[in-house]
Amino acid sequence: MNPCILAIDTATRMASIALYDGERVHSEETWHSERNHTVELMPSLVRLLDRQGVSPQELTGVVVALGPGSFTGLRIGLSVAKGLALALKVPLVGVPTLDALAYAQASQDLPLYAVVQAGRGRVCTALYQREGERWRRATDYCITTLTDLCQQVEGPTLFYGEIDAEGVRFLREELGQWAVVASPASCLRRAGYLAELGWQRLKRDEADDPATLSPIYLHHPKIGGGP
């Protein structure tokens, strides 16, 4: 096996991890976690490595989702990623969660809103537009509601990410044919895409400093943890 990097995404209740070597995703695990990242992440990482016969010492880099997302989930993922990078003396790369979501839709041409849930009827989102063969983020990351988001839509737009059935119905009722909502399977946030983006940065020697790398927070945490 070629040298592999490990990707970790615990930005929301959806968690995902992957092993990637620049040519293929060797292994990937994605699951819905009910705020159990603390007890689920490390056993999942051990299983992922064991399945491929890879020891932690063979990893050549670590990539982690930076958010926006859940305060608790982001803290856990970033702490584990930093700990591994420092212990193994390998580079660390942080990638915004919404950027990785948009990257997964490389074949699309419509303007795209990448969406993750923020709790209490809100979403974290940003608008992306095609620029050649790449996505360009056209807005800041923000926290809003689907109602307010619909007011920003000016034409056919792809909505992609954590959008439940009620959200899909609302978008279609409000926007009609302008609302192009990706299917549930294609909306799944996969660490393989996160790994690929991180790999590209590592190839450009754009590693982050573990001492200063911080999550992207868009609102203050509730007592008892994030969404």
**What average pLDDT does the segment 59-76 reach?**
95
- Residue 219: the pLDDT is 65
Are 70 and 36 spatial neighbours (Cβ–Cβ below 8 Å)?
A: no
Among candidates 42, 40, 48, 45, which has minimal Cα distance to 13? 40
pLDDT at residue 221 is higher than 80: no
Which is higher by pLDDT, 3 or 188? 188
- Residue 56: the pLDDT is 95
CA distance 10 to 16: 7
**What average pLDDT does the segment 21-44 reach?**
93
Q: Which domains does the chain have, with CATH numbers?
A: 4-96+189-203 (3.30.420.40), 105-187 (3.30.420.40)
Among candidates 41, 51, 50, 54, which has minimal Cα distance to 83? 41
Tens-digit pLDDT profile for residues 130-148 = 988 889 999 999 999 999 9
Tens-digit pLDDT profile for residues 151-203 = 999 999 999 999 999 999 999 999 999 999 999 999 999 999 999 999 999 99
